[in-house]
Structure 1
Amino acid sequence: MNSLALDAAPLEREAAAPVAAAKIRLSGMADDRAMLRAAAELTRDLQTPSPRIYWTDFLLSAALGYAALAGAILAPALGWALASGVVAVLALYRASLFIHEITHLKHSLLPGFRVGWNLLLGIPMMLPSFMYEGIHTIHHTRTRYGTVEDPEYLPLALMKPWTLPVFLLVSLLMPVGLLLRFGVLGPLSLFSKRLRRLVVGRYSGLQINPKFERKSPEGAFARQWRWQEIGASIVAVSLIVMVATGVLPLRPFLTYMAVISGVAVLNQVRTLVAHLWENEGEPLTVTAQYLDSVNVPGGFLPYLWAPVGLRFHALHHLLPSLPYHALGEAHRRLSTALGQESSYHGANYPTLRGLMARLATSTMKQRAG
């Protein structure tokens, strides 16, 4: 991905008011048709994913992550173990975020990638791709984004201040939840239709909306779900049994769980700034959805906390089928082609810190309500 210059407008906005940025009026916003037309026309040649880039990026990230995880387990000194743990979290976080690409890929253009990703990372980390497939695409549905039917949306900016630390705490406990989901509830649900409905509906998706309940899978997706769940359950049950019997010492087990927790927390932080979270449940136009989403195109740090193209999250909502490695070029083209009056520049922000401050300030305003 290219390193791009920041649009000046959001930089000036944050410099003038780094915390109390104005709320964008989303309800009833008309579409910026010039922006939508430019987005479609200027990126037609960028739509094909590169197998070489996908496989190389994923395999190198996973290999580095597992090597660093081994280092964190085996390092004799605490300092080296912690340093290795940080590298493991960052590398496995990047590798795990290919689950987002899997949900959007036309798999005929990248044969075997979903299977390879699940075998090498999804199943060993108890995070098979069915947990996101069939969930994330609803988030991109024109009439469901930001509504009660969206599994990946909560109006966090309009909620009480305590919701933000709770939001992060849930991710901290994610590896325990995955261990219970695949090591206990999943196998037990095979003997109870009622429990199975609960497991499928409530505990089989990476969702943040507690009101969302997913439907049972059908057809080819049901077959994908089945082998992925079996694999993740074998991993989870094996871990539980080996730890309980002393075959697996506590240190490697706890290190493995801590790394998964670190990946989950980092992803949850990214999620907090993926949108402005200012929609109150109404269906929105594509432009309004775009402006409720966030690009952080400049600097080095976004490559770490929003890798695999997710620093261009607003642009991704404009062009959800665009492969991650093409988003930088698409952003460059659109930034050059569209003037400052275009809505395109309104979703570009300079820093994670400024976005977190904006969100926290918004929740503080709800305290008196």
Structure 2
Amino acid sequence: MGAEAEERPHGAAVVADGFGLKGPRGWAFREVSFRAGPGALVAIEGPSGSGRTCLLLALTGRMKAKEGTAEIGGLRLPKKMAAVRRISALGHVPGVSELDPAFTVAEHLGERALLQRRFDGSVRTFLRRPSERRASARARIDEAVAAAGLDLAALPKGERTSVRDLERLEALRLSIALALIGRPRLLAVDDTDLKLSDADRAEAWALLRSVADSGTTVLAVCSEAPEGALRITTLDATTAAAPDTDTDKAADTTPGTEARTDGEAEADTEARTEADTATADDTADADTNKASKADKAQVPAKADKADKADSDLTEDTTEEGAADALAETGRA
């Protein structure tokens, strides 16, 4: 009983303070600050391209932040990224941890259990008899499948059902089951409510709430946060201004960036255009000469900045080409 109790998942507290990540094309997100206790359900909401996935990967130690700090279970980011990866697990994250459509459900579960035993097993585990190891792996699989609410008997071909034949909600349950095999302290899931009906969306959130209630802290990217979840809102970083207001630190809604409305942006643009037109006749010749000199001077500077941005991308992302691609685009 004592050994089993130690293996049971216990949630990791998540604390972010001015957290931000910048790629070559600008800020993916910035000024994210919030606190979530162990076993909390945290919903990261916002429009597509607002840095939601990048924030998810940064908080799980898969991407390196550029500013601010965060702590996951007392492990400080970005300094302890490897340690955070060991206590966290990714569910469905497109381009990073996706299901293989050609694999069956049984093949996915068996492979994950084998990898878990290979990389996380203790020396005592390897000294067990093969029959005991198989029984232990099967018990861990059954536990994860039950926690994810995946009914294997209800699938078209049971465990032999291919991933390509799964419904969206069933595929989501399978990805969560695979993540829970490692008994993580932090579970991260992307696109939680994507392509789900209202009924399936309610089931998905009920599943994540049950995982959080069992002790595992849950981070879930979504288009709209459900009631009762800690809501973290990210805004489009391409139109964001540097946030520095008390409103950003509201208790249940924490914007990652601030953005002006389209009307404000258009009005600002028109004002600048009128001002430029008013002074254009008096300064046309001088501006032409200055622009020509400035362009010549800025060509090498722009090239240097581009080279530096490419090197930053290589240094600041830590896991697989897919994560690099997300940081390069600056979108999630």
TM-score between both structures, scaled by the size of structure 2:
0.28
| Greater helix fraction, Structure 1 or Structure 2 | 1
Which structure is larger by alpha-carbon Rg, 1 or 2?
A: 2
Comparing both structures, which one devotes a greater share of its residues to strand?
A: 2
Query: If the length of structure 1 is used for normalisation, what is the TM-score?
Result: 0.26
